[in-house]
Structure 1
Amino acid sequence: MSGTLEGRVAVVTGSGQGIGRDIALCLAAEGASVITNNRKPGSSLNAFEKTDIPFTEAELTELTKVSGDAKTTADLITARGGSAVPFFGDVGDFGNAGRIVETAIESFGRVDIIVNNASSNWVGNIMDMDEELWDISVVSKLKGAFNLMHHALPHMKEQGYGRILNSSSDAFQGLTGYAAYGAANAGLVALTRATAGDLAGTGITVNAYTPLAKTRAWYNAAAAYRLQGVPAEAIEAGAPEAMKRTAEGMVPFLAYLSSEHAAGISGHLFKLAADGEIGLWNTPEVIRSIRTEDEIWSMGDLQERIPGELLKDIAIAEHAIRAEQG
């Protein structure tokens, strides 16, 4: 490694296992001191909250290989010659978020990098969702990101240097079964772009990314498909190539965004995939519009022009298919 982050201090939430662990290890390898984090000692093999999947012995073996917590990640960093301190606590709690930043200051004297990676998810139909299930997805990711930013920004502003990286998901587009999770990730994209504008000229950058790699969620999803009777070879064939590879090959991009070399990069949403792809998402834009010549739209015009012009060849066909399906 190049030592690009020598002297920097990073907080990586949700870094006990999966992509978060690989991010923490990469930042440490580049010279950063790291505060690792997850909610509590130990780890759950279930990637989706409030679910209970009966894993096979083979699945349990693979899940055990990728499990861990803040301490195991910190221990691995230390064993490799780096500096790390574990912090257990849910960053969706405002006080805990403040304490993790305090831990960085007390341990290493500053905080330069925040990686908001922590996330919880529940998968299911919106009609089955209650307040608790909504909060599971929204609080840890969206509120957690705000909490860390709120507590870290005064220190970053005083230093004139800061890098904030927010882990989103392609679920921000609105995926069936992921209503709350998608809403949290869409909110995180908006938070990133707005905050980047607020912080322009301060030396602090804010970017988001949508990661895709083989993690605990992959094994959970594969087990769920198995229970539905989907053959293992079909599951493997249907998975994106990036979900067949672990994350260590893609996370150096996040170390780059954390460095001085990325000082002019802020307010962007990147696609980050374990098959080697780095992409840049575009900002949504109006692709078609209609206008009335009258002061008030008439219902007759709307009934004619919405399907005939505004949504022609787009949504009407999609909605009709969904209606036919049930």
Structure 2
Amino acid sequence: MDTSKLTGSTAFITGASRGIGKAIAIALGKAGANVALFAKTGEPHPKLPGTVYETAEEIEAVGGKALPIIGDVRDEEAVADAVKKTAETFGGIDLCVNNASALNLNSLGEMEPKRYDLIQQINTRGTYLTTHYALPYLRESSHAHVLTLSPPLSTDAKWFAPGPYTASKFSMTIMTLGVSESESDNGIAANCLWPKTTIATAAVRYGLGGQDMIDRSRSVDLVSDAALAILSRNPSDYTGHATLAEDVLHEEGIDDLSPYSVVEGQTDFHQDLYVEKDS
């Protein structure tokens, strides 16, 4: 995988204190990028490992430059200020990665209004705010990408049972693909990325299936490697896709996915949400 186009670029990533966001941030740092980390976690959580400052340290340890910023994607002023600070610190923004997300699979009837508001504000509105304030800087870049961690769209009714969450994740995809259309003349690529299998994150451990599902998951490196591949591509050649991480890796010539298994030798992986079995 040729990541030379990422050397010296600047990325703004939301939710990068742990999990997939952290993995993408470190991978970009290793590729020589400047990475701004926007996340809420500045102090260690009693149950969830990782802070934005720890991620920054790991980025610098692999040769990248990091700018940790504490903030909430629901706060418009905080997002705007963080994006501006990133551009002022590094001289612009080339890559906008919408990773921050909240998970709640309750049905409409079971979900409290405050929980509904939370997932819509983080997932849908957070993606909107981050991308909106990054766009003026992306328009000035010669290698501009928006990458959102959201799924391909599906009309299969089985995904509509957790309606509030599905609406929020599909909205993230729709807005990102919309950017691909509205900003094509400005040379900005916009794509979405999603894994076929569950990924070993805190959200999977505590929000979905515990240790058993973790054992049947793949590592965050699978998504970060796919993200790096997309962000390295020519923006004019690759835009408007809502694609699966495994398919991206296949396009890069990576067909042996066994190194990404959490449990060595595992063959019974848990299918992720919004993915059909024949995908």
Q: Could you say what secondary structure the match of 1:214 adopts? A: coil
Tell me the residue number matched to 1:22: 23
Deviation (angstroms), 1:76: 0.9
Give the greater-gyration-radius structure (CA).
1
| Equivalent residue letter for 1:28 | G
Determine whether 1:257 maps to 2:223: no
The answer on 1:214 being equivalent to 2:200 is: yes
Partner Cα distance (1:86, 1:172) in 2: 36
- Pairing 1:203–2:176 present: no
Question: Are the counterparts in 2 of residues 172 and 185 from structure 1 also a CA contact under 8 Å?
Answer: no
Q: Does 1:154 align with 2:141?
A: no
| TM-score of the pair, normalised by structure 1 | 0.68
**1:213-266: CA deviations, max 9, x gaps?**
11112221334xxxxxxxx7xx45xx8x8x522111342221222225343111
Q: Distance in 2 between matches of 1:171 and 1:178?
A: 15
Give the match for residue 103 of structure 2. 121
> 1:147 offset after TM fit, Å?
0.6
Structure-2 change in CA distance of 1:42 and 1:172 (3 Å): farther
Which position in structure 1 is the counterpart of 2:217?
Answer: 244
Query: Contact between 2:144 and 2:235, CA under 8 Å: does it hold in 1?
Result: no
Partner Cα separation in structure 2 for residue 147 and residue 172 of structure 1? 25
Q: In 1, are the aligned partners of 2:199 and 2:219 still within 8 Å (CA)? A: yes
Q: Tell me if structure 2 keeps the 8 A contact 1:171–1:182.
A: no
Q: Match of 2:126? A: 144
Q: Deviations over 1:257-301 (max 9, x none)?
A: 222534311111011259x667xxxxxxxxxxxxxxxxxxxxxxx
Q: Which residue pairs with 2:277 in the alignment?
A: none
What corresponds to 2:147 in structure 1?
Answer: 165
Q: Percent identity?
A: 25
The DSSP-based 3-state class of the residue aligned with 1:19 is helix
CA positional deviation for 1:158: 2.7
Count, aligned residues: 246
- Aligned residue type for 1:272: A
Alignment of 1:176-187 (within 5 A): 178-187=162-171
Given the alignment of the two structures, is residue 99 of structure 1 paired with residue 81 of structure 2, yes or no?
Answer: yes
Where do 5+ consecutive residues of structure 1 fail to align?
Answer: 46-59, 224-231, 279-326
State the one-letter code of the partner of 2:29.
Answer: A
Deviation at 1:96, TM superposition (A): 1.4
TM-score norm. by structure 2 comes to: 0.78
